[in-house]
C-alpha cells in the first residue's frame, strides 16, 4: 500500500549530491512528520521519487561539517566506547565476591585499567588516535 504525499516542507540536504534529505511530510493520517529520503530505502510505502519531485529545488543546501564538528562527534563515540568498557570493569570491581577472589596484584591491575580508561580523553591525539589500555 502506497501513501500519497502532496505537501512537504523544511527540506534539507544531508550530503553533497542531494540524494539524501531530511524533510517534513504532510502524512494523510498523522499530519506533519519528519522523514528522511534515502536512495537505499527499500520501503515503498512512501514514493521517494514523488517526494523529491515535490521538493524540487526548494531545500537547504548541504553544508559539510567542520573538522571540529567531526572531532566532537568522534569524541562522543570514543567516550561511549570507553564508558562501556568501564561498565565491564565495574562488574568486577563492584562485585564483592569477585573482587575478594582476586589477588592483590589482579586487583591493582583492574584498578589501574579503570584509571587508564578514565584517562583516555586526556591522551594526546584524542579523539583521532587512541591507545586503549589492555584489559587484565
* HEC assignment per residue over the chain: CCECCCCEEEEEECCCCCCCEEEEEEECCCEEEEEEECCCCCCCCECHHHHHHHHCCCCECCCCCCHHHHHHHHHHHHHHHHHHHHHHHHHHHCCHHHHHCCCHHHHHHHHHHHHHHHCHHHCCCCCCCCCCCCCC
How much is the average pLDDT of 109-123?
A: 96
Provide the percentage of residues in the chain whose pLDDT is more than 90: 90
pLDDT for residue 1 is more than 80: no
Share of the chain above pLDDT 70, in %: 100
pLDDT above 90 (res 130):
yes
Confidence (pLDDT) at 99:
92
Look over the chain and give the mean of its residue pLDDT values, rounded to a whole number: 94
d(CA 37, CA 21): 5
Task: Give the pLDDT of residue 109.
Answer: 95
Tens-digit pLDDT profile for residues 12-62: 999 999 999 999 999 999 999 999 999 899 888 999 999 999 999 999 999
Over residues 64-91, mean pLDDT: 95
When pLDDT is averaged across residues 76-87 and rounded to a whole number, the result is 97
Give the pLDDT score at 50: 92
Cell numbers standing for residue 50: 514523488
User: What Cα–Cα distance (Å) separates residue 52 from each residue in 27, 32, 87, 130?
Assistant: 15, 16, 45, 41
Decide if pLDDT at 72 tops 80. yes
Q: In this structure, what are the phi and psi dihedrals at residue 87, rounded to the nearest 5 degrees?
A: -60, -40
Rounded distance between C-alpha atoms, residue 65 and residue 50, angstroms: 29
Dihedral sign for Cα atoms in the order 69, 70, 75, 77: positive
Amino acid at each position: 500500500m502506497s501513501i500519497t504525499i502532496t505537501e512537504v516542507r523544511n527540506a534539507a540536504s544531508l550530503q553533497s549530491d542531494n540524494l539524501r534529505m531530511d524533510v517534513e511530510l504532510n502524512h494523510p493520517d498523522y499530519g506533519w512528520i519528519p522523514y528522511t529520503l534515502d536512495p537505499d530505502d527499500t520501503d515503498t510505502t512512501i514514493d521517494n521519487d514523488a517526494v523529491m519531485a515535490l521538493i524540487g529545488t526548494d531545500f537547504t543546501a548541504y553544508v559539510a561539517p567542520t573538522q571540529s564538528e567531526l572531532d566532537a562527534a568522534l569524541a562522543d563515540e570514543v567516550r561511549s566506547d570507553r564508558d562501556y568498557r568501564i561498565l565491564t570493569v565495574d562488574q568486577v570491581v563492584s562485585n564483592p565476591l569477585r573482587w575478594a577472589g582476586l589477588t592483590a596484584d589482579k586487583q591493582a591491575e583492574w584498578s589501574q585499567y579503570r584509571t587508564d580508561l578514565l584517562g583516555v580523553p586526556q591522551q594526546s591525539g584524542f579523539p583521532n588516535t587512541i591507545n586503549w589500555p589492555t584489559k587484565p
